[in-house]
Amino acid sequence: MEVFLQQLINGLTLGSIYGLIAIGYTMVFGIIGMVNFAHGDVFMLSAFIALIFFMLVTAVIGTGAGMIMLALIVVLFLAMFFTSLWNWTIERVAYRPLRGSFRLAPLISAIGMSIFLTNFVQVVQGPRNKSVPPMLNSSITLIDSATYSVSISYKQIVIIVTTAVLLGVFWYIVQKTPLGRAQRACEQDRKMAGLLGIDVDRTISITFVMGAALAAVAGVMYLVLYGVVNFADGFTPGVKAFTAAVLGGIGSLPGAVIGGLLIGLIEVMWSAYFTIDYKDVAAFCILAVVLVFMPSGILGRPEVEKV
Amino acid sequence: MATPVSAPAARQANMMAALKEAAFAALITFGLCIPIIAWGTRQNLDNVLVLDPRWDTVAWAVAIVFVGRFLMALRQQKKGEGRTIVRILPHGTFARLQGHSRLFSLVGLGFLITFPIIAITLAGWGGALKWIDNFGVQILIYVMLGWGLNIVVGLAGLLDLGYVAFYAVGAYSYALLAKNFGLSFWILLPMAGILAAFWGMLLGFPVLRLRGDYLAIVTLAFGEIIRLVLVNWVDFSGGYAGISGIPRPTFFGIPFTAADNGFAAVFGLEFSPLYRTIFLYYVILCLALLTAFVTLRLRRLPVGRAWEALREDEIACRSLGINTTNTKLTAFSLGAMFGGFAGSFFAARQGFISPESFVFMESAVILAIVVLGGMGSLWGCAIAATAMIGGTELLRELEWLKVIFGADFDPTKYRMLIFGFAMVVIMIWKPRGLISTREPTAFIKEKKAISADLVQEGHG
Amino acid sequence: MTTAPLLKVEHLTMRFGGLTAVNDLSFEARKGDITALIGPNGAGKTTVFNCITGFYKPTEGMITLTQDNGDSYLLERMPDFRISWKAKVARTFQNIRLFGGMTVLENLLIAQHNPLMIASGFTFLGVLGIGGYKAREQQAIDKAAFWLEKINLLDRADDPAADLPYGDQRRLEIARAMCTDPVLLCLDEPAAGLNPRESHDLNTLLLSIRKEMGTALLLIEHDMSVVMEISDHVVVLDYGTKIADGTPAQVKADPKVIAAYLGVDDEEVEKVEAEVGLQ
């Protein structure tokens, strides 16, 4: 029971990160019907951006007790901004010219972009693991039994709380603002939205920017959680987050979060109770099984074949 | 044509507009560069991460983008409105080349058959090895893989991101069976193909009814699953360490060794490692040509026509009595079979295989070859494979650039970077691929090439 | 008339979630007849078609097709491609579904996929070049040429189908369906978007198909001139339920039919009134 509780906490932490990335996939898929293959790499890039800023900021304000929190907040916003700039540019350069082109073109372009980003980071930052000094190490013990104590570390609290708060803000933007309305309109029918005076290009750009901002949050959290990042770290979390998006029902925002949490939990539980070697195999198997047997996911709308 | 604005004024306005665009692009580039290029991270001697400022690199990047965007803007203005795509070759170049496809095929075939001789003549016995092996064999492997995947993606329109899995099945089948049972290359080659086709069917059956991009992701998942199993199931596959000491192919029983019963000795020649390479070259050439031959034949058979119809409209196919599941499955497993052939050849050539050779990136490269070449076009695949694989191999030859960029400049580091970038650029430049016409499979009066712009891609 | 009905639809019901698109529909289509299925927009006509041709599995009901030789097929139990291949029911689509990037001829050859597949020894013999595939393919091309002649498109046989004007595409789709040798041809709004001249040509084509091939036709149509002119038997649907069934003359006079059209759409009301002669 204690083991389970501990894994639950770990799983939710990891799941928050997947959920944040998954939103980027689900939003882009919702609005332009494209699997943004490079999104995992955007996440990886954001972790690097966060790493550099973290070092710059802590060099200025030091690593005192409260300073780490302050530094993280500053880094979070800087990473969100610069990652958004990257994704905005990527959309402008690699996807926008292909809108209305044949079906596979944007996907292929995204795959090219993914390869480019991975290798770009490798070239400019080197192939080795980059680690930051451990931070926020203390933890709160929740249950202290003789055999096994369940604890939640500060970083896990930070990750879960930040994710929850930002999701709330994001939810508000999508549901209550004109921007969100424009976005949902474009999702339903892009051509009609354009005819009604919505700037479709701008809406799509903003979707990419929002997706990147959330991926950047995930990137910062990833850095906080593991303290290490590598240029190849985009692929697997990317695929897992995509799995999460599909599992939750692609196109559905709450679905992406639920899917992310589920994938995080499954991964952690699998590692705890079965074998850690096959944890990625398990994730990929889930992806295949979900796509084959319930392609509309948990919260997605089923698709009726139009004849 | 008289314009209301005088020419110099208009030119100045154009200039200003171009400058403005260039400045904007440069500003964005600067923003993009800020953290990721401006500071390099490096572990110092105490194993602590330190930052190296690199503002000179940022300045270069910004300057290059500024000039590049400026020139592009000017070029676009000259082209006039509506034409925004950069055109390097005159319109319809490839279409015209395709008009003489028979002639080109013969010339190309002649070149391929004589390539080892040409290489030896030009580079000598010592230098030819590199050309035949790194360029000849390497490119032909990818041409073959491209042609194999072309059946699945190009003809049947099924986006397969896990093709490398079948390549791996072929390679491991050969490696394990040859090592453990001592079977010969010529028996295992067809067996590897059949095993791969079987796996293709097994994996394909549940997923082929999915729509395009979902199918892509599922196949990606399968590719990764197979690779991860190979990594983790150490007893079976040797894990990360892979399998080494795989028996090399023999010339119908005669090994390519320096021994007395070796190829050189039997034929009374002086021993040279080149013989094996040349032999391998012809083996892969034959395999690739077999793939091409089968593809060309199939296109003219009902099954090939059904593939192409399926790519366009699955629902219409079903209404015409075509069993779409079977048709897709044939394409999928046939493509897998050729992947299996190529895999077993790869294992035999390398003598060593590990999961490292079967990562997703390989699938992406093969897919890129098919798509960039032009969906369904064998010529396009061959050209794209030559350009992409040959081009990246050529990077190795750019050592002399060290003189300009300093000693730690390593051109091969940029291989995949350029590769990814090229994929994006070619998609934007020619989304239909280099050869964007298809040849009809039957005709009453005359054969006219069809522009691919007319080919709609339905779901499926 | 003692012939067994070619197509017998009994108690057909189709629900999508909570929506009942077709409700307890029964009708028959006789051999050699032209049966029209009419009704206001959203009456469930295309759904009926999709059930007959196997694209949807009906929630309830039975669809029986009896061929000349007495073989009968339960269509609701067959997958779509077998309905075309075995039961010999062909169809066209409301929004034309041609293979646009393939030539007109290729479109017609794909329709002969199954016989050609057998002739090519399920590909195995064909790849090796064994067997009489070449000759069989020539036959298929001749058959395609026959149909192209009939729809006046022989000159354009080697052009991509997407290059054809709209009206020609409609006729090509019909020819393509006919290349599967159907006993029943289902046409989903064949006259939609045609000008009066093209519409007239279409009528001629449909009548000649019936006369020369003996193929029965089942058509959904909005264009009343087509319906009244060529059909032998009209079934009227409204909100998924059958409200009338009979000869064009009977249906024309049925007050329920007029009410259904009156209640729906001004444009259509005018059309029906004009046909019926109320104005």
| CA R_g for chain C | 19
* pLDDT the model gives residue B81: 47
Taking chain A, what is the end-to-end CA distance rounded to the nearest angstrom?
52
Verify that B52 and B118 share a domain, yes or no. no
Work out the minimum CA distance from C156 to partner chain B, whole angstroms.
9
C-alpha torsion C45→C50→C56→C59, nearest 10: 40
Q: Which of C16, C46, C93 lies nearest to residue A304, judging by beta carbons?
A: C16
Please report the number of interchain residue pairs, chain A to chain B, with beta-carbon separation below 8 angstroms: 176
Verify that B37 and B176 share a domain, yes or no. no
Find all residues with CB under 8 Å of C188, minimum gap 6, and list them: C45, C46, C49, C91, C92, C93, C94, C219, C220
Chain B hits for A305, CB-CB cut-off 8 Å, are 315
Work out the minimum CA distance from B201 to partner chain A, whole angstroms.
15
Distances (CA, A) of C121 to A306, C55, C116, C271: 34, 29, 9, 53
Residue A280 falls inside a structural domain: yes
Interface residue ranges in chain B relative to chain C, Cβ cutoff 8 Å:
294, 297-298, 301-303, 305-306, 308-309, 312-313, 315-324, 330, 438, 440-448, 450-452, 454-456
Contact yes or no for A234/A216 (Cβ under 8 A)? no
* pLDDT the model gives residue C200: 86
Residue range(s) defining the domain that contains residue B164: 100-454
pLDDT tens profile A51-107: 999 888 888 887 777 788 888 889 999 999 999 999 999 999 999 888 877 777 888
Which of B295, B301, B313 would you mutate first to test chain C, the one with the most C CBs within 10 A?
B301
Chain B hits for A287, CB-CB cut-off 8 Å, are 217-218, 221
* pLDDT the model gives residue C251: 82
Find all residues with CB under 8 Å of C61, minimum gap 6, and list them: C9, C10, C11, C12, C13, C24, C25, C51, C76
Retrieve residue C184's tokens. Answer: 């029943």
Verify that B12 and B152 share a domain, yes or no. no
Q: For residue B229, which amino acid is it? A: V
How many independent structural domains does chain B possess?
2
Domain boundary among B32, B54, B73: B73
Distance CA B133, CA B116 (A): 10
Do the chains contact at A307 and C16, CB–CB below 8 Å? no
Contact yes or no for A65/A139 (Cβ under 8 A)? no
Q: For residue C249, which amino acid is it? A: A
Work out the minimum CA distance from A304 to partner chain C, whole angstroms.
9
* pLDDT the model gives residue C267: 58
Residue range(s) defining the domain that contains residue A243: 2-293
Chain B hits for C98, CB-CB cut-off 8 Å, are 313, 316
Find all residues with CB under 8 Å of B244, minimum gap 6, and list them: B351, B352
Verify that B40 and B181 share a domain, yes or no. no
Contact yes or no for C41/C265 (Cβ under 8 A)? yes
CATH number of residue A139's parent domain: 1.10.3470
Distance CA C259, CA C269 (A): 9
Residue B266 falls inside a structural domain: yes
pLDDT surpassing 90 at residue C189 = no
Verify that B68 and B136 share a domain, yes or no. no
Contact yes or no for B78/B244 (Cβ under 8 A)? no
Output the average pLDDT for chain C: 83
> Which A residues 102-131 touch B at CB under 8 Å?
102-105, 107-109, 111-126, 128, 130-131
Distance CA B40, CA A58 (A): 16
CATH number of residue B423's parent domain: 1.10.3470
Q: Which of A116, A242, A285 lies nearest to residue B225, judging by beta carbons?
A: A285
Residue A9 falls inside a structural domain: yes
Percent of chain A surpassing pLDDT 90: 24
> Which A residues 70-89 touch B at CB under 8 Å?
78, 82, 85-86, 89
**Subunits close to B (at least 3 CB pairs below 8 A):** A, C
* pLDDT the model gives residue B83: 46
Give the residue-averaged pLDDT of A136-155: 76
Taking chain C, what is the end-to-end CA distance rounded to the nearest angstrom?
36
Residue B79 falls inside a structural domain: no
Handedness of CA C97, B297, B195, B352 (dihedral sign): negative
> Which A residues 232-261 touch B at CB under 8 Å?
235, 239, 242, 246
* pLDDT the model gives residue A85: 94
Work out the minimum CA distance from B6 to partner chain C, whole angstroms.
43
Chain A hits for C55, CB-CB cut-off 8 Å, are 305, 307
Find all residues with CB under 8 Å of A255, minimum gap 6, and list them: A26, A245, A247, A248, A249, A297, A298, A299, A300
Output the pTM of the full model.
Answer: 0.84
Residue B440 falls inside a structural domain: yes
Do the chains contact at C55 and A304, CB–CB below 8 Å? no
- What is the helix (H) or strand (E) element at residue C86, kind and residue range? none
User: CA of A304: which chain C residue's CA is closest?
Assistant: C16
Verify that B322 and B199 share a domain, yes or no. yes
Do the chains contact at B427 and A239, CB–CB below 8 Å? no
Residue A284 falls inside a structural domain: yes
* pLDDT the model gives residue C269: 55
Verify that B27 and B120 share a domain, yes or no. no
Contact yes or no for B361/B210 (Cβ under 8 A)? no
Verify that B56 and B121 share a domain, yes or no. no
Verify that B195 and B306 share a domain, yes or no. yes
User: CA of B361: which chain A residue's CA is closest?
Assistant: A115
Distances (CA, A) of C58 to A8, B38, B158, C52, C64: 45, 64, 29, 9, 13
For B163, list phi and psi in degrees, rounded to 5: -60, -30
Chain C hits for B446, CB-CB cut-off 8 Å, are 158
* pLDDT the model gives residue A41: 94
Work out the minimum CA distance from A255 to partner chain C, whole angstroms.
22
pLDDT grade for C194, boundaries at 50, 70 and 90: confident
| CA R_g for chain A | 19
Residue A56 falls inside a structural domain: yes
Retrieve residue A274's tokens. Answer: 């079965």
**More confident: C124 or A229:** A229
* pLDDT the model gives residue C68: 81
Chain A hits for C93, CB-CB cut-off 8 Å, are 307
Contact yes or no for C65/C120 (Cβ under 8 A)? no
Taking chain B, what is the end-to-end CA distance rounded to the nearest angstrom?
51
* pLDDT the model gives residue C273: 59
Residue B95 falls inside a structural domain: no
Do the chains contact at B442 and C103, CB–CB below 8 Å? yes
Instruction: Tell how far CA A109 is from the center of its chain.
Output: 20
Chain A hits for B420, CB-CB cut-off 8 Å, are 112-119
pLDDT surpassing 90 at residue C73 = no
pLDDT surpassing 60 at residue C158 = yes
Which of B224, B320, B427 would you mutate first to test chain A, the one with the most A CBs within 10 A?
B427
Verify that B263 and B225 share a domain, yes or no. yes
Would you tell me the crossing angle of helices B185-207 and B324-350 to the nearest 10 degrees? 140
Verify that B227 and B191 share a domain, yes or no. yes
Verify that B286 and B361 share a domain, yes or no. yes
Give the residue-averaged pLDDT of A181-204: 83
Q: Which of B36, B213, B424 lies nearest to residue A48, judging by beta carbons?
A: B36
Q: What is the mean pLDDT for each group of 10 consecutive residues in chain B (460 residues)?
A: 59 83 89 86 77 85 89 75 49 60 81 82 78 86 93 88 92 90 86 93 85 81 89 85 83 76 76 82 91 90 90 88 90 93 92 89 88 82 87 75 69 80 84 77 74 55
Residue B90 falls inside a structural domain: no
Residue B194 falls inside a structural domain: yes
Work out the minimum CA distance from A82 to partner chain B, whole angstroms.
7
Handedness of CA B441, B444, B448, B452 (dihedral sign): negative
Q: List, in sequence order, every beta strand (DSSP E) within A88-204.
A: 130-131, 139-144, 149-153
pLDDT surpassing 90 at residue C248 = no
Retrieve residue C151's tokens. Answer: 């729809």
C146 at A interface, C-beta within 8 A? no
Residue B85 falls inside a structural domain: no
Tokens 């001592």 sit on residue: B182
Residue A299 falls inside a structural domain: no
How many independent structural domains does chain A possess?
1
Residue A300 falls inside a structural domain: no
**DSSP letters spanning B247-274:** PPP-BTTB--SSSTTSHHHHTT----TH
Residue A304 falls inside a structural domain: no
C130 at B interface, C-beta within 8 A? no
Retrieve residue A85's tokens. Answer: 């700039």
Residue B92 falls inside a structural domain: no
Work out the minimum CA distance from A98 to partner chain B, whole angstroms.
6
The ipTM estimated for the assembled molecules is: 0.85
Q: For residue C263, which amino acid is it? A: G
Exposed (0-12), middle (13-18) or buried (19+): which is C222, by Cβ within 10 Å? middle
Chain B hits for C146, CB-CB cut-off 8 Å, are none
Contact yes or no for A264/A12 (Cβ under 8 A)? yes
**Subunits close to C (at least 3 CB pairs below 8 A):** A, B
* pLDDT the model gives residue B104: 78
**Subunits close to A (at least 3 CB pairs below 8 A):** B, C
Residue A83 falls inside a structural domain: yes
A102 at C interface, C-beta within 8 A? no
C-alpha torsion B351→B357→B358→B363, nearest 10: -120
All domains of chain C in start order, with CATH: 7-88+181-276 (3.40.50.300), 98-167 (no CATH)
